[in-house]
Structure 1
């Protein structure tokens, strides 16, 4: 419900989880799996929600690594980008994407390209490095009004009869 005060329109605060919750069909065939605003108190809960939405065997043995990459990115938002952000988890026919958006000051130049291995005693820099190691693609749009990081992990390909025959022909 909106209320007008002078020339300003007051709107109710958004809920923590989007009211456009994904349908069971979206979880199976693609689409939004999770769309959530988060803050410092939500990191653990959000990590568990991401795990739960992907725990059906969708990512196989890569699930834990992807969840770790997501955790590192949302922790960076809380520590370095104003403390809150938005996470969207979506599925396509071939991949799962996690998009994290914040309203922070932007990512410093030295962290914008695929980072080198952080030094053993380096202060920071491991979160984005881990994301690059654990994901199939990392995208970044950053500037003085915020950052959007995209993490993509490909779905495991299931072998078909044609794949098996092609493999035999290649090795035979």
Structure 2
């Protein structure tokens, strides 16, 4: 039986649509395996590696989106993952990979706004609100979530 991985490039966050510039170069800022005990340390490392002058007020929002995705890996995908943070000429990309069972079909589309008293379900929703682009590749051998934030011109 052949295993398949579904990949989606999902829409940019509302109001942030713009043509992507082709990155002139990529510079890796972080490439690290993480687990439950590393969430806070990794969140602070992402914050430290990115310059507030580079992203301005959006830095905290991007770090929050990253935190939500790595927390989901720990809670729902086997407890460990890998985070790669790259800087290109026009954007910052954070790619989070796990070896969990994959994301169920009903959670592979952009989520609706969670109800006020819903427990959970806000992590990926927040990522869509805070990032310029969210990508997802998922299947029975794991998931990769990409978070992109454009650099100000």
Larger RCO of the pair (alpha carbons < 8 Å, separation 6+) = 2
Contact 2:30/2:85, CA 8 A, preserved across alignment? yes
Q: Who wins on radius of gyration, i.e. which is larger?
A: 1
TM superposition outliers: structure 1 runs of 4+ over 3 Å: none
Structure 2 unaligned residues grouped into runs of 5+: 1-24
Q: Does 1:54 align with 2:75?
A: no
Structure 1 unaligned residues grouped into runs of 5+: 1-28, 158-172
Q: CA deviation at 1:55?
A: 2.8
What's the counterpart of residue 136 of structure 2?
A: 140
Q: CA RMSD in A?
A: 1.0
TM-score by length of 1: 0.73
Deviates more, 1:49-58 or 1:33-42: 49-58
In the TM superposition, 1:1-172 aligns within 5 A as 30-157=26-153
Counterpart CA distance in 2 for 1:154 and 1:119 is 29
Name the structure where helix makes up a greater proportion of residues.
1
Q: How many residues align?
A: 129
Q: CA deviation at 1:30?
A: 4.1
